[in-house]
Amino acid sequence: MSLTADRALYLFQVQDANIAPLFRRILDELMKWFLSAGLVSLVLVCPFQSSSANSLQQTAYGRHAVVVSCERHASEAGIDAIAAGGNAVDGAVATAFALAVTCPRAGNLGGGGFALIRTPKGEVISNDHREKAPALATRDMFLDETGKPSSALSLNSVLAAGVPGTVAGLLDMHERFGVLPRSRVMAASIRLARKGFPVSHDLAEQLKRRLELFSRSVAATQAFTRRNKPYQPGEILRQPDLARTLIRIRDSGRDGFYKGVTADLLVAKMKADGGLISHADLENYSSVWRSPVSGDYRGYRLYSMAPPSSGGVLLVWMLNMLEKLAPAQLTFASSEFLHHLIEIQRRAYAGRSFGDPDFYHNDIELLTSKAFAARQFSGIDPERASVSTDIRAEVEPRRRESTETTHLSVMDKDGWMVSLTTTLNASFGSKIMVDGAGFLLNNEMDDFATLVGAANLYGLVGRSANQIEPNKRMLSSMTPTLILKDGQPFMALGSPGGSAIINSVLQVIVNVLDRRMPLGRAVGAGRIHHQWQPDRVFVEAWTLSPDVLAALEGRGHRNFSIRKPDDYSGGIGVVNAVMRRADGTLHGVADFRRSGAAAGMD
């Protein structure tokens, strides 16, 4: 099933299960002919609904508020909280807690993330609730007896779990900026966990794919199967253990998670299976309020996440380089632009060497300066591709994290903006559930540089700035971003997608600000991705015409990897965004690359 076919199925409202497969095949063959004839360089671009069992509204408008997330019940929980008198922060927290129930592959209580918040007074601040290494963590803890990195340890064991930060972050955000009682913003998540919700086609497929992996965890098997059989679309998934954990958080705040029964259950799991997280690790965890990275691009003001995320720095760095090109040049029909985009991405990712700012000095001022970008841009040969091994960044390079993240964006009429990205690292984290607590353990320790020069799960190379140290936060690619126009709210966006997160956010921003695309088209447009190493250009299927690809090859770009957005990988990024239009209406779009949902309130 191709991207083009799915878009056309939506446009022509072809929903019948018997007709749709034939229609897809016909469209596939037509598009292949158009492309081979050089008649089409870009496929249809528009926001549309998922054709899964649960038909999700993936675009929404509202004058009062809009919430966009990866799951319908979660977006509805956010809008319901705002309708009850809350602001966008209440809506975001309600959505995030609901995602811990309805999007278990990435929504979580056992993981971490980052959030950017803009207040009606114009203050922009970020909350870092990234996981931390336990106090007993050691630099060589994931090396096997031969001294090589062991993914079995760093991905698939309780040893892979960092100290969870999600609960602390969400509660701190709500306590500082929310206006509703905690019981109200958590009501939907508790109800969804206790009473259950219909399993979507997408979730049923995710759970089915991981039956064998869940078998290592009795609690996960019990939670995500029906007596060891996969859930079918439409069946009701109830999670009573998770409901009880959520109730403890509702009633006791952070002590309901980092102390008491929940903490006892988590530490017992660690002791039983050889993990490191202790009661002291949990009690000592706190989220951190940080100043965001900021930059200016063609008259707009951007704010994004500072280290321990690399996202904000690389985003501003690349936009500063792109500013050297005229807006009219920024078209995917131009091999000249794509050549420059690839070279810009290559240089930025080569310099992706950051670490927890509590442990490592990150020269953010240098990397986000216009002068630094000009110097980097001047090194690009306009006619010839670079070779990644020849690129030596002015700062030390490094590695990266998972595609199975999730992002939510919220804006309201009063000027509140929230952009929040959260993750367990790999899909469903380590696939290991805390017995009796109902939530999965993350495997974020794999995001540290296990060995200098070695690549992690997603191919990024590690450096010393991100080596494992006790109580340190691991590097991330998460890029929650807010954009202001003339000092007023304009857009909130972010994405899952591992190392491709930053480039996904970058290209949607270029589509909106430079190419003047409506938000749905900007999010739906095809994307490319280069991350320095491996020296390969990732391209979404149907994005580039044969003549453009040939022109890029003529410039020396020869290693292409085609990604199909209908694959389980989800293409390149999954951007969920909200934008304020000229008439003041808020417009939200959930990326078609996965099932998602936008909810609006007039």
534 preceded by a cis bond (ω within 30 of 0): yes
Q: Tens of pLDDT along 553-579?
A: 999 998 999 887 655 555 899 999 999
Average pLDDT, integer, range 160-184: 98
Average pLDDT, integer, range 483-512: 97
Average pLDDT, integer, range 369-394: 89
Please list, residue by residue across 454-492, b when 16 or more beta carbons sit within 10 angstroms of its beta carbon and e when fewer do.
ebbbbebbbbebbbbbebbbbbbbbbbbbbbeeeebbbb
* C-alpha to C-alpha distance for 196 and 73, rounded to whole angstroms: 11
Q: Tens of pLDDT along 411-421?
A: 999 999 999 99
Average pLDDT, integer, range 12-27: 44
* Of 42-56, 461-475, 489-503, minimum mean pLDDT range: 42-56
> Above 90 in pLDDT, residue 108?
yes
> Above 50 in pLDDT, residue 47?
no
Sheet containing strand 293-297, edge to edge, reads 59-62, 586-590, 576-580, 488-494, 481-485, 300-304, 293-297
Average pLDDT, integer, range 143-151: 89
Q: Which of the following is catalytic: 403, 405, 406, 543? A: 405
> Above 90 in pLDDT, residue 548?
yes
φ/ψ of residue 125, rounded to 5: -140, 155
- Helices marked H in 394-518 — which ranges? 500-513
Of 104, 150, 108, nearest to 131 by C-alpha is 108
Average pLDDT, integer, range 352-359: 88
> Above 50 in pLDDT, residue 24?
no
State whether residue 167 is helix, strand or coil. helix
Q: Which long-range contacts (CB under 8 A, 24 or more apart) does 361-370 make?
A: 362/306, 362/307, 362/313, 362/465, 363/395, 364/293, 364/306, 364/307, 364/313, 367/313, 367/316, 367/317, 367/395, 368/293, 368/294, 368/295, 368/313, 368/316, 368/317, 368/320, 369/320, 370/320, 370/323
pLDDT at position 27, please? Answer: 53
- Cβ-Cβ contacts under 8 Å for 235 (sequence gap 6 or more): 198, 199, 204, 226
CA end-to-end span of the chain: 36
One-letter amino acid at 374 equals A
Q: Tens of pLDDT along 213-267?
A: 999 999 999 999 999 999 999 999 999 999 999 999 999 999 999 999 999 999 9
Average pLDDT, integer, range 323-351: 94
DSSP string, 32-59: HHHHHTT--SS---------SSS----E
> Above 80 in pLDDT, residue 465?
yes
Per-residue pLDDT band for 44 (boundaries 50, 70, 90) equals: very low
The chain-wide mean pLDDT, for the chain, equals: 88
> Above 80 in pLDDT, residue 56?
no
Per-residue pLDDT band for 332 (boundaries 50, 70, 90) equals: confident
The answer to whether 489 touches 149, Cβ cutoff 8 Å, is no
The answer to whether 538 touches 572, Cβ cutoff 8 Å, is yes
Active-site residue, 405 included: yes
Where along the chain do the CATH 3.60.20.40 domains lie? 290-401+479-601
Average pLDDT, integer, range 100-124: 98
CATH of 290-401+479-601, one of 3.60.20.40, 3.40.1410.10, 3.40.1190.20, 2.60.120.1570: 3.60.20.40
